[in-house]
Chains A and B, each alone.
Chain A
Amino acid sequence: MNAPLLEVRNLAKRFPTRAGREPSPWVIRDLTFAVREGEFLTIIGPSGAGKSTLLNMIAQVESASAGEILFQGSQIGLGDSKAMRPGLDRRVGYVTQDDNLLPWRTTIDNVLFPLEVQGQLDDKSRAHAQMLVDAVGLKGFERYYPHELSGGMRKRAALIRTLVYDPPVILMDEPFGAVDAQTRMQLQEDLLRLWTLGRKTIVFVTHDITEAILLGDRALVLTKQPSRIGAEHIITIPRPRNVKSFLTMPGFAEIYERIRAEVL
């Protein structure tokens, strides 16, 4: 097996204690896992399990209280918020729960934003961006402002804004949380298709067991607070997977039941 691309060792987080209060509890403690290159890892946890905090720490926008994070075997500075490098010099992409599109930029200008700030805007990268726009069905909406798009379209735009600069690891924090079931399935299908094209390394956090099984090569289950990895499930359901007929997938029901028993 290859060396892991991203490794988290004994990671822990507690928020600063306010004066005159009980010491803050550990949100995350002794959390350890690793992701291989090209792997689609899903992490399932109930709400309040510190899922967003975990990804924030990996993306270097929040400091860790203890533990280590290794990227390609070398350690990432933790702890000190001044030394943090958000996005780890563009090697870690992050698709957050909110789309965070810039409201004054059109769809295409939002998608091109990372390339623009990285000084990588040229004909080739523009063509690549346009290809992604077409692939997720946003063709014709390039000149629309975010407030003129539907929730699902905004999610797609946010997704391809991260894909466009091709970071080796992409973190996803319940990116399809706030949309209806129909749109969600469509988005999951889009994501799987794009992933098949590029085989990115993805760490996808969700509270939805079905989603975790459908998308992932491997699913980790977080415990209640303080969170650590409670269980690991290798998902052997063959790809390509049809999102719409997950119930009939071989082995789906069995994994689902096992995970559900652990989560509740």
Chain B
Amino acid sequence: MTTIDQATTLLEREPPISRKTIVIMGRAALAVLLVIGWQAGAETFGSIFFAYPMDVVRRLIELTVSGQVFVDLYATLRVSTIGFVLGTVAGVLLPFLLRRSKRWTEAIEPYVLGSQGIPKYALAPWLILWFGIGDTPKLVIVTAMVFYIPFVNVFAGIRGVDQRLVKMARIVGASETKISREVIWNSLMPFFFTSLKIALPRAVSACIVGEFLVSTEGVGHYIEHARELSDTVGVFAGIVVATTLVLAVNGIVEYLERRALAWRPTDRDMVL
């Protein structure tokens, strides 16, 4: 076979299985490994240490049939969504406002970044004292946990905007508002979506931890309740529900990102 023949065969040969199939198979294999490891853990250490996977599945079915899981999912989703929206809106708006004034930015930024050091969960008893035992203390925690992610990312995005594009827009007569809306906003879309991808799971997990501290329902409440009863199966079932929730939420973000950033050049080899 000559080199050219070889090259042609290389080009013409269809891959036996598509990339997508390989990825899906890989994911399935990892899931199987995870379950096997889990099962092995349960058999080695006993069901107090690790709940048996089958027991967890049975519990999940029970929870679904009784509708309990939906009550808890709704409670968790409600608080984490509202907190997420509040935190994101604030975390996006503030950098946009500060963009206009370098002095204000320099004055405010250390306070914002410094407040990141406040351990929010440690404040829980006081949050309850201040806001009662309803959704509000959890909302405060979720909002505070989410806020910094868009704030830091959007700020980085605004600072990274191609100034030549801004200059061009000014020359053709665009107002500062138009520049914010068109040039800055679109330039920082990739940063915005990066922050969404980190912030959404963070909102869900902050809400669940908040529910450990104060709640009457929710995925976190279910886990905490099971923990108090030393119900290992319940804790594991709750963890599975929480993980599934985060995966689902992430799927939505990725879908939105693909639609919003359709203009970006894509590396075709990376498309799944």
Contacts from A to B (Cβ < 8 Å): 59, 61, 86-87, 89-90, 92-94, 96, 98, 100, 102-105, 113-114, 117-118, 145, 147-148, 161-162, 165
Q: Give the distance in Å from the alpha carbon of A74 to the alpha carbon of B116 in the complex.
A: 54
Which B residues touch A94, using CB under 8 A? 168, 171
Q: Give the distance in Å from the alpha carbon of A79 to the alpha carbon of B186 in the complex.
A: 32
Known contacts A102-B186, A104-B263: does B167 contact A61 (CB below 8 Å)?
yes
Could you write out 6 A-B pairs with CB less than 8 Å apart? A93-B171, A100-B165, A117-B172, A117-B178, A118-B172, A145-B265
Contacting residue for B170 out of A61, A96, A103, CB 8 A: A61
Known contacts A96-B164, A98-B164, A100-B165: does B170 contact A145 (CB below 8 Å)?
no
Which B residues touch A90, using CB under 8 A? 172-173
Which A residues touch B172, using CB under 8 A? 87, 90, 93, 113-114, 117-118, 161-162, 165
Secondary structure of the B side of the interface?
helix
In the complex, B182 has a CB within 8 A of chain A: yes
Q: How far does the Cβ of B264 sit from chain A's closest Cβ, in whole Å? A: 8
Number of interchain pairs (Cβ within 8 Å):
59
| Interface flags, B241-265, vs A, CB<8A=1, else 0 | 0000000000000000000000111
Question: Would you list which residues of chain B between 28 and 78 have a CB under 8 Å from chain A?
Answer: none
Which B residues touch A118, using CB under 8 A? 172-173
Question: Most chain-A Cβ atoms within 10 A of its Cβ — which of B174, B183, B189?
Answer: B174
Contacts from B to A (Cβ < 8 Å): 162, 164-165, 167-175, 178, 182-183, 186, 189, 263-265
The 8 A-B residue pairs whose C-beta atoms are closest, nearest first, are A87-B171, A114-B172, A86-B170, A117-B174, A100-B168, A104-B263, A147-B265, A90-B173
Which B residues touch A148, using CB under 8 A? 265
Q: Give the distance in Å from the alpha carbon of A98 to the alpha carbon of B168 in the complex.
A: 10
Question: Most chain-A Cβ atoms within 10 A of its Cβ — which of B164, B167, B168, B183?
Answer: B168
Which B residues touch A104, using CB under 8 A? 186, 189, 263
Extra inter-chain contacts (7) besides given A61-B167, A86-B167, CB under 8 Å: A87-B171, A87-B172, A98-B164, A113-B169, A113-B172, A114-B172, A118-B172
Q: Give the distance in Å from the alpha carbon of A92 to the alpha carbon of B183 in the complex.
A: 21
Q: Give the distance in Å from the alpha carbon of A100 to the alpha carbon of B166 in the complex.
A: 9
A145:B164 contact, CB within 8 angstroms: no
Contacting residue for A89 out of B167, B173, B175, B186, CB 8 A: B173
B173:A103 contact, CB within 8 angstroms: no
Q: How far does the Cβ of B265 sit from chain A's closest Cβ, in whole Å? A: 4
Q: How far does the Cβ of A137 sit from chain B's closest Cβ, in whole Å? A: 23
Q: How far does the Cβ of A186 sit from chain B's closest Cβ, in whole Å? A: 23
Which B residues touch A93, using CB under 8 A? 171-172
